[in-house]
Structure 1
Amino acid sequence: MSFTTRQHFEIKNVIISAGTHGNEMSGIEAVAQWQNNPSPLHEALPSAHIGLTLANKPAVKARVRYVDEDLNRQFSQAKLNMSVAENAPNEVKIAHDFNAEFGPKGQSKTDFCIDIHNTTSNMGPTLIVLENDEFNQQLARFVKSVMPHSVILVEDYQAFADFGYLCTVATKGVMVEVGPQLQGALRASVYQQTVDMSLAILRFIELYNTQTIPNLGPVQAYRFGLEVAYPTNSQKQKTAMIHPNLDGKDFAPLLPQQPCFIDFTGKDLLWEGNASYPHFIGEAAYDHLNIAFATADKCLF
């Protein structure tokens, strides 16, 4: 299937998924509202069927990120090819069921997936794209044109099919990531940005299907670099926190020798890498993994 102007593939089946993490409330509430009144979805994208789903219902019910394991890491082809034991983790079973209903990955009945997430980090409305191709470039440019304050984050360090993300069950997929919002809470501004970005994506798909995409030039984006761990001691205990000068400054430049951590005695720890653009700064869901933030390089996309 090609998404280029040389061989146009019309997108006929779209799913909007929320509750992949059961305590990220904007998408969960948006899906509930759209289930009650789907007209905004159909007005944005009349040429395709749009399905709505809560991916991890047990986690949503319990208002936890996941029950046993992170669902958004279960969709690699290798994991989906494994047999599922009766005592398998909750999210392993859900991933296989989701793949059977909306996939199967690699030969999917779903043309496009929007998977909605929240972050506790100050990332604003961020569109995460996983491929550097014409379709995703045009999508990013359109979203940026209608939401100038939005952020484009490019994670293309491996092939789309190699990711374990839920949205890769579809032929094409993206993640909507909006923050800051506390886990289990709902902020009006974050909710509205989530809705706005999701509808903008649907509007783009309609333009794509009707081959009426406006001619837009490259936009500023950020390409994922690496994850940065908190400093720890020999007992793997944290020895420092996010520095106040960095906290809440997602996608602002972090320059060499600027403070990025502060230890428990008040000593600044300086950034020893190249100039970068941190994001997911202090994300609560990554704390147990000892991830302090991720880096990115600025690029045109």
Structure 2
Amino acid sequence: MVSINKVAIVGGTHGNEITGYYLLQKWQDSPELIQRPSLNTSTLLANPKAYEISRRYVDQDLNRQFARHNLEDPTLGGYEQNRAKVINQAIGPKGNPKSDLVIDLHTTTSNMGPTLLMPQSGEFYNKLAAYIKMQMPSVTIFRDEDHKSNDEHHLLATVGKYGVIVEVGPVPQAVLRHDVFQQTEQMVNTILDFAHLYNENNLPDLPRETEAFRFLQSLTLPLNEKGERIGMIHQSVQDSDFKALNPGDPLFQLFNGETITYAGDKTVYTAFVNEAAYYDKNLATSLMEKVVIINE
């Protein structure tokens, strides 16, 4: 069994998701809170300039810069592209990382509750998913494009040997909510507990099957031929993250009064519904399929 020794907790990857920033401050003041006997845990503020201006990013989305070919491309010189290279050297580098586990902290304006995103698959992740669900039944497990190789995955968490994203909402951008803060902190502590027990080969009996959701595709808001929005998420879908969307269900409400229904041929599930950060790309929601993770 591969042991987990060095853990990096990253906050502020997006400058207007401030829960992670304030948790880093708390842990820097009281580092014993995130230490475990078999772990060496450190913290990193990923995007200080974006935090200072209370924006998601300065030039580019930092959490889209960590594919290996981008990290190795010297012509990419935007602030976040350079910042990604610095972070990769600090807690990576990708492919030969110093960090055994990266925990990247995020919040969302969508009604997703506490969610654990896993961008890779394997025995470690299967056991982690089972442990998290056993300790925190309210957590949703989200398998995020885990079909991609680690080299091509663009998320910051993938620079470690293992990496996960803690995503909690709803909370407005640049706002603190007590419940979101607590849920984020509890999830991090539960992940650290798991890593220590994993090292000690002392995990409790875990359920063999864990329900999860796997990303399929993103849908865009309805646009006209000029690229202008002509509608919005239907009220029956709003705030319904991880709920079923059936063929024929209302999906979008146009400004002219027309309702557009979901035209797929099977039931799917929504996530990141009406996420404010995705409006620059006119994204409306992600669609998921329900899967079962087998812990063997």
TM range, smaller chain: over 0.9
Q: SS in structure 1 opposite 2:168?
A: strand
Q: 1:91-132: per-residue Cα shift (whole Å, max 9, x none)?
A: 011011111111111011111100000000000000001222
Matching of residues 212-231 of structure 1 within 5 Å: 212-217=202-207, 218-231=209-222
Alignment RMSD: 1.0
Instruction: Quote the Cα distance in structure 2 between the aligned partners of 1:84 and 1:191.
Output: 38
Residue 119 of structure 1: which of 92, 108, 128 is its match?
108
- The one-letter code sitting in structure 2 at the alignment partner of 1:282 is N
1:185 equivalent in structure 2: 175
Matching of residues 141-180 of structure 1 within 5 Å: 141-155=130-144, 156-180=146-170
Q: How many residues were matched structurally?
A: 290
Deviation at 1:240, TM superposition (A): 1.1
Q: SS in structure 1 opposite 2:193?
A: helix
2:89 equivalent in structure 1: 100
Deviation at 1:161, TM superposition (A): 2.8
- The one-letter code sitting in structure 1 at the alignment partner of 2:277 is A
Q: 1:265-299: per-residue Cα shift (whole Å, max 9, x none)?
A: 22211001121100000000001101100000111
Matching of residues 23-62 of structure 1 within 5 Å: 23-42=16-35, 45-62=36-53
Q: 1:216-250: per-residue Cα shift (whole Å, max 9, x none)?
A: 12111101110011111110111110000100000
Instruction: Quote the Cα distance in structure 2 between the aligned partners of 1:109 and 1:24.
Output: 26
Deviation at 1:84, TM superposition (A): 4.8
Gaps of 5+ in 1: 1-7
Once the two structures are aligned, what percentage of the paired residues are identical? 39
Instruction: Quote the Cα distance in structure 2 between the aligned partners of 1:84 and 1:211.
Output: 45
For the 8 Å contact 1:21–1:71, the answer to whether it is kept is: yes
- The one-letter code sitting in structure 2 at the alignment partner of 1:179 is G
Instruction: Quote the Cα distance in structure 2 between the aligned partners of 1:170 and 1:27.
Output: 19
1:4 equivalent in structure 2: none
Matched, 1:201 2:191: yes
Matched, 1:272 2:258: no
Q: 1:161-197: per-residue Cα shift (whole Å, max 9, x none)?
A: 3211111111110000000010000000011000010
Deviation at 1:158, TM superposition (A): 1.1
Instruction: Quote the Cα distance in structure 2 between the aligned partners of 1:132 and 1:107.
Output: 18
1:294 equivalent in structure 2: 286
Instruction: Quote the Cα distance in structure 1 between the aligned partners of 2:187 and 2:194.
Output: 11
Instruction: Quote the Cα distance in structure 2 between the aligned partners of 1:92 and 1:133.
Output: 29
For the 8 Å contact 1:84–1:93, the answer to whether it is kept is: no
- The one-letter code sitting in structure 2 at the alignment partner of 1:120 is T
1:234 equivalent in structure 2: 225
Gaps of 5+ in 2: none
